[in-house]
Structure formats: structure tokens, C-alpha cells
Amino acid sequence: MAQTLLKVKGLQVAYGGIQAVKGVDLEVREGELVSLIGSNGAGKTTTMKAITGTQAMQAGDIEYLGQSIQGQGPWDLVKQGLAMVPEGRGVFTRMTIIENLQMGAYIRSDSAAVADDMEKMLDLFPRLRERKDQLAGTMSGGEQQMLAMARALMSRPKVLLLDEPSMGLSPIMVDKIFEVVKDVYAQGVTVLLVEQNASRALAIADRGYVMDSGLITMSGAGRDMLEDPKVRAAYLGE
């Protein structure tokens, strides 16, 4: 069995007296694409923030590469190969596309390889090549999502965390984003995908988890979950 790269154990997170995450266990193994689905307010984004050190934990532990990463900041985790594309994209709006990509590689000193990776990102996202000198803040939501993904990939992550990458995008752009997620996964990057579009997320996942009211309520192979009547009724509108 592949090595477990990321393991969440008994995670609890509270916001001002509200228990947002109530004891979550999940793991992501090397080479997997794992989807975490659930309705709005289920605790998915809070879980991702806790993993990446942007949200304090109340209890539990998170292990990456077999070591606890509790208390480490996102900058430390990026250096270790754990990168996140946050909900809302978070691009540097007053920087150009190229400058945003350069920021994604800030931890690297291999300038020739960074230049090569920049070209790969512009090949993966031709829309970004067309607009490479444009300010990120003037781009559409879908283009900003592409940029946020490309910027994260510039750090050469072992594990890429994607938080709601299709949110608010047109159907055509959603198709493009899911194509890119599949391409990135096919190139050997391990992916944890949080996504409200449950059918699309489970269709490409090796494994899936369902989160409801701060708890993991179901898990299994992505395809099996896609066919599960309970999942279909609750999340696929059937």
C-alpha cells in the first residue's frame, strides 16, 4: 500500500463557542486524488485551514510525512511540499500573472528549473500565457482560479490541497478546472479536493469522504460513493 502522506486524527475546531469540526479522521496516501464533499457549513474549509496552519486546532493532530505539523505556519508547510489553493483564490491582484507565478516559487533557488516550470504552467493554462503581463485583479474568476492553481504548482508540491476550485465559475470554466485537476493528478501530484460539486469531485476521486455538521459520515471509493443511494439523495439531488 502507498505511503500515507497526510493524516488527520481527531481534529476539532471551534469558532467562538461554535464547534465547526467535531473529531475528523481522514488520510491521503501518496498518488491519490481524495475528494471531501459536503454541504455548505459542513466544516470542509475549516478542516483545510487547520491542515495548512491558518486555523488553530482545539484538539487532535495532523501528520504530514509521518510527523506532526501542529503549530507550523503555511510558509513552513509549503517548504515541505504541502501547498493549498484557498477558497476565493487569493491571487495578488496588483501583480501580473508572471509575478504571481514567481511568488509561487519563492521558496526555490533553482532559477533554471523555475523558468522551465513557468513555461509548463503557461502550457497547462494557455489563457495565462495570452495574458501573462496583465494584472491578476483584472482577470475573470475562472482565470484567477487557473492562476491560483498554477501559482501553487510552482512550489512543486507533494500534496496539493484545493478548496472549492469550481465555486462561482461558468460551466465551461468548471470543465476546464476539472480537466486541469485530472492533468495535475496524472503527473503524480497527490491531491485533496474539497468541492461542493459532489458528482464531479467523486467521478475523478480514488476515494471520497462525506462531511456533515463537522463530522465525517461516510467514506469509500469515489466511484462507489457516486453510485450510493444515500450520497445521490443528499448531494446529487436524486
| DSSP 8-state code for residue 2 | P
Bridge partners (DSSP) listed for residue 70: none
Strands (E), 65-214: 67-68, 82-85, 159-163, 190-194, 207-212
**136, 95 Cβ separation under 8 angstroms:** yes
Domain boundaries, the chain: 31-42+73-235
Tell me the fold of 31-42+73-235. Rossmann fold (3.40.50)
Q: What is the pLDDT of residue 237?
A: 64
User: How far is residue 51's CA from residue 136's CA, in Å, rounded to a whole number?
Assistant: 27
* Percent of the chain whose pLDDT exceeds 90: 79
Looking at residue 214, the DSSP 8-state letter turns out to be T
How many CB atoms lie under 10 A from the CB of residue 230? 11
Q: pLDDT by residue (tens digit) across 39-92?
A: 888 999 999 999 999 899 999 999 999 999 998 988 899 999 999 998 877 899
pLDDT of residue 15: 84
Measure Cα distances from 195 to 4, 18, 108 in Å.
Answer: 22, 23, 30
Instruction: Note whether 65 and 5 are within 8 A (CB).
Output: yes
- Which residues pair with residue 119 across a beta bridge? none
Cα(231)–Cα(79) distance, integer angstroms: 37
Rounded distance, CA 15 to CA 6, Å?
24
Task: Output the pLDDT for position 179.
Answer: 93
pLDDT confidence of residue 238 = 54
**pLDDT at res. 105:** 94
Mean pLDDT of successive 10-residue stretches along the chain, which has 238 residues:
92 90 96 94 92 92 95 90 87 95 92 94 93 94 93 95 92 92 93 93 96 94 92 76
Q: Report how far apart, in Å, the C-alpha atoms of 130 and of each of 49, 100, 141, 165, 202 are.
A: 32, 15, 16, 21, 32
Listed residue (109, 186, 187, 106) closest to 151, CA to CA: 106
Count of residues in the chain:
238
CA dist 90 to 68, 85, 161, 167, 237, Å?
27, 8, 14, 13, 31
Q: What is the mean pLDDT of the chain?
A: 92
What pLDDT was estimated at residue 41? 84
Q: Model-level pTM?
A: 0.93
